[in-house]
Amino acid sequence: MVHAHTISLRSLESSSLSSNSFVFDGTNSDIARQLYIRHKTGDTDAKVTLNAVPTAVANRLSDLNTQFSDLPGLVQRAVLWDTGFALSPANDPVQIWTMNDYTMADIAVPKDEVSGEGCTFKNCTQPNDELAYYTLICSGAQMVNVSRCVADTFVDSAATSYLGSMWSVGGDPNMVPYIRLRDHSWVDPVTEVSYSVYAVHTTSVADDPAWNVCPADDGYGALTVPCHRRDEFTDKEMEAMHTPTGSAWVTTWLEEEFAEDSGFDTMLLIPIILGAVVLIIAVGCGRYYWKRKQKSDIDETVSTTCDLTAVSPQYTSESTVPLPKYAATTPDHTLRPTVMTTQGSFLSTRGGYESAGSCRTLKILLNSQHLMDKRMPYESIMYQRLLSKGSSGEVWLCKHNGQQIAIKRLLQIKQQKAESVQAFAEEIELTASLDHPHIVTFVSVAWNTLNNLVMVME
């Protein structure tokens, strides 16, 4: 059980932790300290969902007779970061190593170092009248030249379509920081050089602005920390990197507030047993209700949304739809036959989208308020030439009604995963919702099969 005595935290208060000069404004990466301050202020957030607790974290907490799942959400994030971990988009803990003599508290890259590499910035005014800065024009090589950390490799299925900045400074002094890792991957359209830069984002997905866009409603910026990829280094080179083990003050905090006694009070058995009985009954009732509701929801969805045999209202003249007109230089392998399905979509002859994933994708495309009046006939697009190609997507120069447009689509592979198409549909919906003079204007969305889903831009 948790120690019953009142926690004075004198050792923490006398340390640099409680320094009144500390401000979490993007000039430092002391995320653990900011989370400690917000926790002591009374802020809360959901617990971290991990696919597996890192061994280093589990061992550190084991010495205190406590477990990761017992800690509040903010404390979980603090322990992960302080022990050298961030979270991938799939909720996997990713090991971070620091370079030279840097620690997890000071791997934030100063603006003058980024500027010294020749990078330019997007300047955004914050509510406190201080400026937040985001990288505007900066190559992957320039970015990693100033990086102070190395992150282990992880999978980011939306890496080539991610719209965020790979470096930024700024932040609300009262914010609760995240530790989200993203992979920024792209092919330079001029040099045709491929880049992949990992970056830790400290704000939520919803509050993270797109590239060349300031935070919504003139809000606060947030810290973004670029890191090298682990596969850029040999094992010999990695020996020079530092593996974080955790700072002494965080260990003291955990020990004084969350360490558990090794003994057990048998008098606690009665309320524990009673509580367990009540919980079992509640879970049983909840599970029964949930199963009934789930079955009802599934039946309704199948009957109203995913009737894959009904005729589409958008294409009624033939059982197939003509593909776009292609320029003479367009590769033949991009042409594919299509067969009609329902709700304005089509199934390929492979039937690769007869799944719940395709139904969710269709709901986004057909029900989004941002896409209602933005659908374009797919056959009206004329492909001209390929502009760029990434690991999962490509950008084409096209024509529509005599006007030049650019379209982005997924790679044309034989078995496209439904979750990849759904992620692309979500990206299209997000882009359609953005309205800013400094970003490329969204024009339309088009498809005849989900494999051929495209986003049309100026």
Q: What is the mean pLDDT of residues 207-236?
A: 96
**DSSP string covering 54-66, please?**
-HHHHHHHHTTT-
Architecture of domain 325-457: 2-Layer Sandwich (3.30)
**Among the listed ranges 47-51, 278-282, 331-335, 383-387, which one has the minimum average pLDDT value?**
331-335
Rg (alpha carbons) of the chain, rounded to whole number: 26
Q: Pick the residue with more confidence: 300 or 43? A: 43
**Among the listed ranges 6-10, 21-25, 183-187, 291-295, which one has the minimum average pLDDT value?**
6-10
CA distances from 169 to 133, 203, 257 (A): 5, 12, 32
pLDDT band at 215 (very low <50, low <70, confident <90, very high): very high
75-128 pLDDT, tens digit each: 999 999 999 999 999 999 999 999 999 999 999 999 999 999 999 999 999 999
**DSSP string covering 78-104, please?**
HHHHHTTEEE-TTS-EEEEEE-TT--T
The pLDDT score that the predictor gives to residue 71 is 97
The pLDDT score that the predictor gives to residue 284 is 78
Count other C-beta atoms under 10 Å from residue 58's C-beta.
13
Cβ pair 176, 139 in contact under 8 A: no
Task: Sort strands 168-169 and 454-457 into parallel, antiparallel or unpaired.
Answer: unpaired
Of the candidates 210, 280, 268, the one whose C-alpha atom is nearest the C-alpha of residue 434 is: 210
pLDDT band at 147 (very low <50, low <70, confident <90, very high): very high
The C-alpha atoms of residue 357 and residue 422 are separated, in whole angstroms, by: 7
The C-alpha atoms of residue 352 and residue 368 are separated, in whole angstroms, by: 23
- Residue 302 pLDDT > 50: no
Is residue 161 classed as helix, strand or coil in its secondary structure? helix
DSSP state of 108: P
The pLDDT score that the predictor gives to residue 104 is 98
The C-alpha atoms of residue 22 and residue 215 are separated, in whole angstroms, by: 23
The pLDDT score that the predictor gives to residue 436 is 78
Q: How buried is residue 303: exposed, middle or buried, by Cβ count under 10 Å (0-12/13-18/19+)? A: exposed
334-391 pLDDT, tens digit each: 433 333 333 343 333 334 444 555 678 888 888 888 888 888 899 999 999 999 988 8
Task: List, in sequence order, every beta strand (DSSP E) within 128-223.
Answer: 131-135, 149-151, 168-169, 180-187, 194-201
364-380 pLDDT, tens digit each: 888 888 888 888 899 99
- Residue 290 pLDDT > 70: no
Direct distance between the N- and C-terminal alpha carbons of the chain, in angstroms, rounded to an integer: 61
32-44 pLDDT, tens digit each: 999 999 999 999 9
The C-alpha atoms of residue 71 and residue 184 are separated, in whole angstroms, by: 31
DSSP state of 242: B
Cβ pair 398, 404 in contact under 8 A: yes
- Residue 54 pLDDT > 90: yes
Q: How buried is residue 97: exposed, middle or buried, by Cβ count under 10 Å (0-12/13-18/19+)? A: buried
**Among the listed ranges 17-31, 195-209, 261-275, which one has the minimum average pLDDT value?**
261-275
Q: One-letter amino acid identity for 375?
A: R
